[in-house]
Amino acid sequence: MQQIFRSDVALGLPLYREVKHKLMESLRDGEWKPGDIIPAEKRLCERFGVSVGTLRKAVDELTAENILIRHQGRGTFVASHSQDRYMFGFFHIYAQDGRKEYPKVEFISLTRDKADADGAARLGVKKGAKLFRIINRLSLGGRAVIIDDILLPEQFFPNMTEAQVRDRRTTLYQLYQDSFGIGVLRTEERLQACGASADIARMLGIPEGTPLLHIIRRALSFRDEVVELRHSYVITDGHEYYAGDDNQGHG
């Protein structure tokens, strides 16, 4: 029989949404951390007092959002940042022949900065708020093609040091996760074209004013806080940004 009394969070929400919400709470509160296995479906059914079908529908949505990952026969795991996940879900630049390659990342600088009006609006902080600023140069096929200009609200990254950023052997999102407990759940990107500024032109070795693809990415946490604002400037005479379903590949 279906249970009569629902949690007070329920406001006409389907039961599976309630369950999903409770799972998200457990994730947000750190009951299960990235890489952890979560309890078996049977266990979770008992815990929430729902049937398998309902539990599965909740987990279905979380896997579709790349928050959980199921492995038949092994269990269900909390998604964790890795190089592969970065390439799969966050890095959208391909060579024009369709190949995809992990970029060589060259650290240029870590500085302290303050939010200007635009950065503050995009980050959801006050103008003048303290930020870290990371600049990286990325190479593909042995050629420098991308400058990343990354802004991080200081509050989320206490005492971040240049050594941490320079000497890491992981993606930045792994660093955020492992060293600061910041889980980047999803990103949104806005794209424009711009001419290379003097600084960017110098770092990429191209003439000032060269048309570049300008990607403005916001990275969001579990709580929908903006934890990173990244401006990427891409030379696109040999590469392209692919916008399509993750599932349907780059054919």
Partner DNA sequence: CAGTGGTCTAGACCACATT
Partner DNA sequence: ATGTGGTCTAGACCACTGT
If binding is defined by CB under 7 A, does position 126 make contact with DNA? no
Binders of DNA among residues 39 to 78 (CB under 7 A) are 40-43, 49-54, 56-57, 70-76
Q: CB burial class (10 A; 0-12, 13-18, 19+) of residue 179?
A: middle
222 binds, among DNA, a second copy, none (CB under 5 to 8 A by kind): none
11 binds, options a second copy, DNA, none, Cβ within 5 to 8 A by partner type: none
Contact between 244 and a second copy per CB under 8 A: yes
Q: With CB under 8 A as the contact rule, which of the stretches 35-43, 75-83, 149-157, 193-201 interacts with a second copy?
A: 193-201
Q: How far is the CB of 251 from a second copy (least distance, A)?
A: 8
Name the binder of 159 from DNA, a second copy, none, CB < 5-8 A by kind: none
Say how many residues touch DNA, by CB under 7 A.
27
Smallest separation (angstroms) from a second copy to the CB of 33: 25
- Chain positions 73 to 132 lying near a second copy, rule: CB under 8 A, are 92, 94
Distance CA 19, CA 219 (A): 26
Which of left, alpha, beta for 94 (phi over 0: left; psi -120 to 50: alpha)? beta
Interface characters, 16-45, with DNA (x: CB under 7 A): xx--------------------x-xxxx--
Q: Distance between CA 34 and CA 227 in Å, rounded?
A: 17
Task: Measure the CA–CA gap between 28 and 199, rounded to whole angstroms.
Answer: 40
Residue 214 CB partners (closer than 8 Å, separation 6+): 191, 192, 193, 194, 231, 232, 233, 234
Query: 184 near 89, Cβ under 8 Å?
Result: no
- Name the E strands within 141-225: 143-153, 186-195, 211-220
Got the DSSP string for 103-146?
PEEEEEEEEEEE--HHHHHHHTS-TT-EEEEEEEEEEETTEEEE
Of 139 and 236, which has the nearer Cβ to a second copy?
236
Name the site residues for DNA (rule: CB under 7 A). Answer: 1-3, 14-17, 38, 40-43, 49-54, 56-57, 70-76
Q: Which residues bind a second copy (CB under 8 A)?
A: 53, 92, 94, 186, 188-195, 209, 211-214, 216, 234, 236-237, 240-245, 248
